[in-house]
Amino acid sequence: MKLIRPGPDHEVPRGIVGGAEISQATAGAHNIYMGRFRVPPGARSLPHYHEGCESSLYMLSGSVRIRWARPPSDHLEQELEVTPGDMLYVPPRVTHVVENVSGSEPAEYVVARDSPTEDAVVVPWAEEGA
């Protein structure tokens, strides 16, 4: 067993803020990843997808808008809003952007994946023509 306590926030490659996580790097996990994330007021992630894993999100506070693309497209033509208590399932390779809908309050959520690593691939062209 390994206890992971809240730690300092850190930037993650796709442009939002990470906190404590259970992963291969922090706990020696082999098949699971879980992390707490924060999207600052008015901020949004880079367009990205998770290559080889399914993801689930549990919204703790605030609200986020998810803009996403139906594969095989990378154009972000779909949209939904996630509010506290909501859970969201994200299949592998679904390009998406996470946006905080508030200009004054952060949004926080927990993500779990069936991969021991972050596994994010940034897709900079996803918003062209969106």
Q: How far apart are CA 41 and CA 53, in angstroms?
A: 28
Q: What pTM value is reported for the model?
A: 0.88
pLDDT at 96 over 80: yes
pLDDT in tens, 20-37: 899 999 999 999 999 999
Give me the residue spans of the domains in the chain: 10-108
Q: Which residues contact 108 (CB under 8 A, 6 or more apart)?
A: 36, 37, 38, 39, 59, 60, 61, 62
Answer yes or no: is pLDDT of 124 > 50. Answer: yes
CATH architecture of 10-108: Sandwich (2.60)
pLDDT band at 123; cut points 50, 70, 90: confident
* Bridge partner list, 80: 66
Counting Cβ atoms within 10 Å, is residue 6 exposed (0-12), middle (13-18) or buried (19+)?
A: exposed
Taking only the tens place, the pLDDT of each residue in 43-79 is 999 999 998 899 999 999 999 999 999 888 888 999 9
Residue 123 to residues 5, 10, 17, 30, 50: CA-CA distances in angstroms? 32, 21, 18, 26, 11
Length of the chain: 130
Question: Could you give the percent of the chain with pLDDT greater than 70?
Answer: 95
